[in-house]
Structure 1
Amino acid sequence: MAPEPDAGVYVMSVAADLAGLHPQTLRLYERRGLVEPARTDGGNRRYSEADLDQLRRITELTDSGVNIEGVRRILELEARVAELTGALEQARLAATAVASRACRKK
């Protein structure tokens, strides 16, 4: 069974290798608030698949010339768009349910 996408399973060195980055770069990204790996009780970082996806997205943006602050803002906006998309879908489902009940009452 595969781990949950948000489960922190990779130590920093493995996560850095998988993301194609230096471990120090992962520390920098964490300090700048771009990625937030889970921590063990002993304080060691554990990166999830979702964290690795985030690191790959950061690399994509920085490789295209976006600075760290720009990356942070883009990631915030992308998260907000995803949140609003989910809310919109919930509203659509609710509206469809209301319309369906209204049609059945006629």
Structure 2
Amino acid sequence: MTGSDAAGRLDDDDFPAYTMGRAAELIGTTPAFLRALGEARLIEPLRSVGGHRRYSRYQLRIAARARDLVDEGMAIEAACKIVILQDQLAEAQRINEEMRGTASQESDLPPG
């Protein structure tokens, strides 16, 4: 691997750079919490060659959102479902806006 390849991985939000212990530390929780998120199918960590869980920055952002909801008193399963639904809603809104933009551009064209 060249230096530029390594630098590219450091910028990649999806690169599984963090061990379970480090990931838990970064988001202020426990490894058991991260395992519970995996069991609830909110995040699925990649596995190292030795079978250890590895998390990406993207996964840690999702885990932190779930942790915030749990800290507010929500059950972990409910928190995971809310995060999933929030992401689905955001994606649907993005698609809707994209379609509106396309429809608006088409209506600006002269008939013909």
Cα deviation digits, residues 7-42 of structure 1 (max 9, x gap): 211111111110111112211221121221222344
Indicate if the aligned counterparts of 2:45 and 2:53 stay in contact, CA closer than 8 A: yes
Q: Distance in 1 between matches of 2:38 and 2:29?
A: 13
Structure 1, gaps ≥5 residues long:
none
Structure 1 counterpart of 2:58, from 50, 54, 77 = 50
Task: Give the TM-score of the pair, scaled to structure 2.
Answer: 0.80
Deviation at 1:76, TM superposition (A): 2.0
What is aligned with 2:77?
69
Q: Distance in 2 between matches of 1:45 and 1:101?
A: 53
Deviation at 1:92, TM superposition (A): 1.5
Provide the secondary structure at the position in 1 that maps to 2:11.
coil
Q: Distance in 1 between matches of 2:66 and 2:34?
A: 11
Percentage of matched positions with identical amino acids:
33
Cα deviation digits, residues 50-84 of structure 1 (max 9, x gap): 11111111111011111122112211210211110
Q: Which of structure 1's runs of 4+ aligned residues deviate more than 6 A?
A: none
The size of the alignment, in residue pairs, is 104
Cα 1:96/1:41, change in 2 over 3 Å: farther
Q: What pairs with 1:17-28 in structure 2 (closer than 5 Å)? A: 17-28=25-36
Task: Give the TM-score of the pair, scaled to structure 1.
Answer: 0.84
Q: Distance in 2 between matches of 1:22 and 1:71?
A: 16
Indicate if the aligned counterparts of 2:42 and 2:84 stay in contact, CA closer than 8 A: no
What is aligned with 1:30?
38
